[in-house]
Structure 1
Amino acid sequence: MTNAVEFDNIDVIFGDRQQEALALLDQGKNRSQIQEATNNVLGVADVSFNVPQGEICVLMGLSGSGKSSLLRCVNGLNKVSRGSLRVRHGDGDQVTDVTSCDAQTLRTLRREHVAMVFQQFALLPWRTVAENVGFGLELRGLSAKQRHEIVQEKLALVGLDEWASKYAHELSGGMQQRVGLARAFATDAPILLMDEPFSALDPLIRNRLQDELLDLQEKLNKTILFVSHDLDEAMKLGNSIAIMEGGYVVQHGTPEDIALRPANDYVADFVAHMNPVNILRGRAIMQRATRDMRNGSGEFAIEDEDIKLFIENGVVKSAQNGEQQELKLVPYDGTVPDHLDPTNNSIIFVAEDDVLLKNLIEIREITQNPVILTRENRISGTLGRREFFASLTQTASVAD
């Protein structure tokens, strides 16, 4: 998978004695010790990880942890003191090292390849909604006709095409944030930097905008770095999460990794009061299918379950229970069909392996038979009694 952003041993020091501060950092001194000795502030320390193209990476941590400081390095708003930060753009064959590029290259990167959405929207009050959305295009030198076409398209994308002539003060907070999103989308930049964009909104609007962002991401396939202090938001949005403390990334991984395998007490405190059933997916807890099951054909028994599967080239064609009763294969698309009765053990559900545990609980209320999990129609695993109850025990221990 191609990386859109690569952080390579990034250090950021704020102040005019950076070399002294870096030397102290190399000696293992922490933020307060460095500040006491040099009056410089450690913003980011020894950060290394990659963000693949088309994924959402959430940077999170407590206030002052360094998450916004790191985000603003990507477009050069914060100057990197040491390390390399590479941004891939164009058709994926152009790479800019933000730490060493010239001023013109950096301006081009900001105008065309990396867009930013701020917490307080940063809308210009004397401009209409349409004029705000087209501001970046105006700086780029596009004609009024070109700007109008793009602006109308992006406003329609976020559901604000009828508000083009209004001003920011005439819009609700959620609508203002949509204007900020449309402005970022208007430049057609492949990389979006989002600095706590929803944190100033009330919970209902915030949740709605999170859903809208995920819907837009399915259509646009942007690479997004998203700063948040809300773990539930991070778990909902992120393909990966980087948790920061004192300028360091203390854990970087999938939501499942963070929830089930916290790297230290700091991360464990974050996940202590969350409900993992909302973020754990079938692929994280399933009994993985053997290679023969995934690629072959034949009759296969599910371990610890009195069920036989009949598979052709990795695709489950039929299933039987121990009494050789045919089990009906029922596809699961996020909702249970209305006509199914509770405790119906004559059926067996087939679901994508990214199905959430909360949905699997819903399935188990209908049938005690295992769930067949697939990826691109081929079997990838099964979830039977053992895996199901083990996952509940595991999530309970996380919550404790």
Structure 2
Amino acid sequence: MTSVGIALKNKGLKYKDSPVATLDQVNIDFPAGQWTVLLGRSGCGKTTLLRYLAGLLDNKLIENGDLTTSDGLPLSHRIAYMAQQDLLLPWLNVRDNVCLSARFSNVSLKSQYAKAEQLLKQVGLFEYADTKPEQLSGGMRQRVALARTLMQQQPIVLMDEPFSALDAVTRHKLQTLAADLLKDKTVVLITHDPQEAVRLADQLYVLQGAPAQARELTVPRSNPPRVLDAECAELQQAILDQLEQDYE
């Protein structure tokens, strides 16, 4: 499936039951086939923006400005969403959790098993296909969630802090795995971790203010996932300096 770029121009979002806007005059390009990373303080509107792109806030928002796609088609039915929580169904085994999207389509569930098992091989969990989620570690559960996201075969993947609850080593490994498996997708990643942002971003924006606006920061010339060097450390500091302005 061909990657799809998204562009927001002077975009504003306001909840109908709120007296103030959440986002205002936001200008962000999400190029096709690349990772765009969003940072900002808690409550600045990152998740609102992600849920808006996913079509999860219909009839709850007043919006202005423009949203366009590179092919001129709507975003609906072309998005996979990976949340911070793995959201695995405890009564289903790993294989059936990966195949969850097939339960909401006309596709035969059993016909999807071969593909699901191939994805489980890619994330290193093939031998756990018949295992229930309660028997898995946090990192393993997130790998199942990643396989489930890939199973949907959507050109756009929205990720809301999917690795933040993991230990540092597991988080680093899953970042690298996700960068490999999602390399042809248009990915929008929310994170609170400047290091994660620097490792993975092709584009990087900090949402600031109330209502929030987006400021783009220049990423290193090297390709993600990056080996953290002096240039990366300088960008991490620039991110922290930018974020601290919202806490003054």
TM-score for the superposition, normalised by structure 2: 0.82
Are positions 1:95 and 2:65 aligned together? no
- Match for residue 49 of structure 1 among 25, 28, 51: 28
Instruction: Give the aligned partner of residue 134 of structure 1.
Output: 99
Residue 81 of structure 1 aligns to a residue whose secondary structure is: strand
Please name the residue that 1:71 is paired with: 50
* CA deviation vs aligned residue, 1:218-263 (integer Å, no higher than 9, x gap): 4xx111000001111100010011100234234124324xxxxxxx
Deviation of residue 356 (structure 1)? 6.6
Segments ≥4 residues shifted beyond 4 Å: 354-357, 397-400
Task: Name the counterpart of 1:248.
Answer: 212
2:19 corresponds to which of 40, 46, 69: 40
CA offsets per residue over residues 109-152 of structure 1, 9 Å max, x none? Answer: 1xxx1000010111111111111110112212211332112211
Alignment partner, residue 124 of structure 1: 89
CA-to-aligned-CA distance 1:260-308 (integer Å, 9 cap, x gap): xxxxxxxxxxxxxxxxxxxxx47xxxxxxxxxxxxxxxxxxxxxxxxxx
Structure 1: gaps of 5 or more residues? 17-38, 99-105, 257-280, 283-351, 362-390
Shift of 1:153: 1.8
Summarize the alignment of residues 24-35 of structure 1 with structure 2, pairs less than 5 Å apart.
Answer: none
Taking the aligned partners of 1:355 and 1:64, their CA distance within structure 2 comes to: 28
- Cα drift, residue 176 of structure 1: 0.5
Indicate conservation of the 8 Å contact 1:138/1:147, yes or no: no
Q: Whose strand proportion is higher, 1 or 2?
A: 1
Structure 1 residues 340-374: Cα deviation after superposition (integer angstroms, max 9, x where no partner): xxxxxxxxxxxx9x99784xx9xxxxxxxxxxxxx
- Tell me which of 219, 225, 234 is aligned to 2:197: 234
Are 2:199 and 2:226, in contact at CA under 8 Å, matched by a contact in 1? no
Q: TM-score when scaled to structure 1?
A: 0.53
1:89-238 matches, cutoff 5 A = 93=71, 95-96=73-74, 106=76, 109=77, 113-218=78-183, 221-238=184-201
One-letter amino acid of the structure 1 residue matched with residue 44 of structure 2: S
1:13: which partner in 2? 14
Q: 1:193 to 1:51 in 2, by over 3 A?
A: same
CA distance in 2, matches of 1:45, 1:146: 46
CA distance in 1: counterparts of 2:226 and 2:159, whole angstroms: 27
**1:157–1:13: structure 2 CA closer, same or farther, 3 Å change rule?**
same
Q: Answer whether contact 1:59 1:241 (CA < 8 A) is retained.
A: yes
Percent sequence identity over aligned pairs: 34
Task: Name which one, 1 or 2, has greater alpha-carbon Rg.
Answer: 1
3-state secondary structure, aligned to 2:127: helix
Contact 1:5/1:52, CA 8 A, preserved across alignment: yes
Runs of 5+ unmatched residues, structure 2: 242-248
- Report the Cα distance in structure 2 between the residues aligned to 1:3 and 1:238, rounded to whole angstroms: 17
Q: Distance in 2 between matches of 1:356 and 1:184?
A: 26
Aligned equivalents of 1:87, 1:181: Cα separation in 2: 25
* Cα RMSD after superposing both structures: 2.8
The whole-number CA distance in structure 1 between the counterparts of 2:20 and 2:97 is 35
Cα distance, 1:45 vs structure 2:
1.6
